[in-house]
Chains A and B, each alone.
Chain A
Amino acid sequence: MAGAVVPAIRIQREDFDVAAEIAGLTKGRADIGAVVTFSGLCRDEQGTLSALELEHYPGMAEAEIGRIAAQAVERWPLQGLTVIHRHGKIRPGENIVLVVAASSHRQAAFEVANFLMDYLKSRAPFWKKEHLADGSEGGWVEAKEADDHAADRWKKPGE
């Protein structure tokens, strides 16, 4: 199995370059047949948001995403995995999170990107606060029950 894959986990304030991250996984290799990337962006549907401020738990954020990524590596035949989550103030249209999953065949890469995001949403210690365009604080974004259910669907029988 793909025991040698060590996931790359980065928690950072700076933006990331999706193309560079894909190249980082695939460069110089001929054994990867599929790369799936998921990018999560800061969204402003109403035109009222100035920025999201992402607070995180330093240390645990890396550790928890590492634990989720380790599960993915154990469960699917992967050739590479990169997860980046930003913190600090992020404006509408900017990147928040990136998952890059590489495998021989597409199914594993698709599933891992999906799995990672479902778990990350409900278990990675990050919290979003809204800052509104009129200068006021919009409050903390509430967790969605649907995100917990999304993670539950990956549980194996008996878990």
Chain B
Amino acid sequence: MSTKLIYFAWVRERIGKPEEDVELPSGIETVADLLRWLKSRGEEYENALQYPDVIRVAINQEHVGHREKIAGAREIALFPPMTGG
């Protein structure tokens, strides 16, 4: 099953695309696992995810922490801390 990843702001700019569908390898269970795996996919990902602690994540359009399980996620968004308002 493929998962849709969406990127915003400087995460999007550094990765170089707004979204992509990925097949997650087995063993990727949590958000932290996902960030670690993505970071290993190439220089642009390494640049975007250099400091994983600052990356905010939403699963199916709701904020989650990095220890959250990603099983069943249709849409996972990665973005910097928000600056609206």
A: residues with CB less than 8 A from B are: 40, 54-57, 59-60, 63-64, 85, 96-97, 117, 120-129, 140-143, 147
Contacts and interface: CB of A to CB of B under 8 A. Distances in A.
Contacts of A54: 84
Given A120-B85, A123-B82, 19 more contacts: A40-B85, A55-B9, A56-B84, A57-B79, A60-B77, A64-B63, A96-B84, A96-B85, A121-B85, A122-B81, A123-B63, A124-B84, A125-B58, A125-B77, A125-B82, A127-B80, A127-B83, A142-B83, A143-B82
15 contacts: A57-B58, A57-B61, A59-B61, A64-B61, A85-B85, A120-B85, A121-B82, A123-B63, A124-B85, A125-B77, A126-B83, A126-B85, A127-B83, A140-B80, A140-B83
B6 interface: yes
Contact of A143 (B61, B77, B81): B81
Scoring A97, A127, A128 by chain B CB atoms within 10 A of each residue's CB, the highest score goes to: A127
Contacts of B81: 122, 142-143
A151 B78 CA distance: 21
Given A40-B85, A127-B79, A57 B6 contact: yes
Nearest to B9: A127
A101 to B, nearest CB: 15
A128 B62 contact: no
A3 B61 CA distance: 25
A63 B62 contact: yes
Interface of B: 6, 8-10, 58, 61-63, 77, 79-85
Q: Classify the secondary structure of A's interface with B.
A: mixed
B17 to A, nearest CB: 15
A90 B62 CA distance: 27
Nearest to A121: B85
Nearest to B12: A55
Contacts of B79: 57, 125, 127
A57 B77 contact: yes
A97 B83 CA distance: 12
Pairs of residues from A and B, 10 with the lowest C-beta to C-beta distance, nearest first: A126-B84, A143-B81, A127-B9, A60-B61, A121-B85, A141-B83, A124-B84, A128-B83, A120-B85, A140-B10
